[in-house]
Each structure stands twice: as C-alpha cells, then as structure tokens.
Homo-oligomer: A and B are copies of this chain.
Amino acid sequence: MSTTIAPVDLAKAYRLLNHGPTVLVSARHNGESNVMAAAWACALDFSPPKLTVVVDKMTRTRALLEGSGTFVIQVPTAAQAQLTHAVGSHSLADQPDKLERAGVELFEFAGHDLPFVAGCSAWLACRLIPEPHNQQTYDLFIAEVVGAWADTRAFADGHWQFENTDPSWRSLHYVAGGQFYLTGDSLTVKVDEAL
C-alpha cells in the first residue's frame, strides 16, 4: 500500500461521496473478483455512515456482492477516466480478462478480504444491509460503511484537496457517451452565524 494512504474518520466518510462522483464498485466471492463503474451511488447517513448504490442484475459484480455481503465503493480520479469507462462498459462474462485489459490493479487493506482498486483517491469498505425488496424491485443496494481510507494527496484533514493538488486527482462525474465532467473550482458561501 502506498504510504500516502491514510484512514478516514468514519464520521467524515460521507464527505468522500457528498460531491456526487462516479464510483467504482468492486466485490470478491469464492476467490473471484470484479470491478464495475457506477454513476448512481449516494451517501445515505452520517453515523454510522451508510450509502446506496444501484447495481444492475446483468452485472457479475452484483452476484459477487450478493454472495459475500461485502463490497468496496472507491472514488476514481481523472487519471483513471479510461479505466472507469472500460470497467463500466464490459462484463466479466464476455471478457474474462476485463480487469487486466482495463489496467486495474487490486490491493488489500489489512483485515478486509476485498478487492480495492489501486490509484483511486478514496475507498469505502461496505457491508451490505440486506433489503431484498429494494434489490429486486429497484436494483438498489444499501450498505453500512465499515472502513474508509483516502490518498492524502487528494483528501486530507477531512477535506478534499483538489485546489492544492494536481488536476489528475480530481473526481469524475459521468454524463453519457464517454463524457465526464471533472470536479471543478471550490466555492465557499457565507455561513450564517445563527446556525
């Protein structure tokens, strides 16, 4: 693991998703690992941190995360835009070497038997909260975040550092047809003292 990676306080883990980035979802079951892209992931609660993610029935990753009850949500960087599009466009069913072709390198955090994607800016280890009706009807999965880490070049002291770091660390926000927007400039408004 890179020495620039540090744990994130779980109380601030929601901030890793609050700006609405496109994410990578990864899971492992019975020794099989896969990674897909998802634009439809969202924070759900602060403490304990929870999130939602929409995962289609067609995906191999869904079978793995349903099998293991665990998965990873990670935040890819501008430098990983092509990788993100590739893992979002191909299925492991059609392309068994999908991960190598896309340039995905996996690593682990101690104590978590999960496939974490190297080079991302942040990682959230998730434990599925089974909600069969949501999963079946809406492809909607709810999970509790049980571990969080970030590369301190992108997220440090509880805040994204996009203003202070190379633009290649910015998050991706997918639209359609291979087009993403990068996270842009910071804008801070006056906060009412009365709050």
* Residues of chain A whose beta carbon lies under 8 Å from any beta carbon of chain B: 15, 18-22, 39-45, 50, 52, 54, 78, 81-82, 85-86, 89-90, 131, 133-134, 138-140, 142, 158-160, 162, 170, 172-192, 195
* B195 lies within 8 A of A89 (CB): yes
In the assembled complex, the Cα of A81 lies from the Cα of B191 at a distance in Å of 11
CB-CB nearest in chain B for A101: B192
Q: How many copies does the complex hold?
A: 2
Residues of B contacting A174 in the complex (Cβ-Cβ under 8 angstroms): 18-19
Contact A190 B82 (CB under 8 A): yes
Query: Is the pair B175, A15 in contact by a Cβ cutoff of 8 Å?
Result: yes
A81: min CB distance to chain B, Å: 5
Partner among B20, B134, B160, B172 whose Cβ is within 8 Å of the Cβ of A22: B20
- A183 and B173 within 8 A (CB): yes
Picked from B15, B39, B186, the residue with its CB within 8 Å of the CB of A180 is B186
| Set of chain B residues within 8 Å of A162, measured between Cβ atoms | 181
A sample of 20 more A-B contacts (CB under 8 A), given A18-B174, A40-B42, is: A18-B173, A20-B20, A20-B21, A39-B43, A42-B42, A44-B138, A44-B140, A50-B138, A78-B187, A82-B190, A89-B191, A89-B192, A90-B195, A131-B134, A140-B142, A159-B176, A159-B179, A178-B191, A183-B184, A184-B184
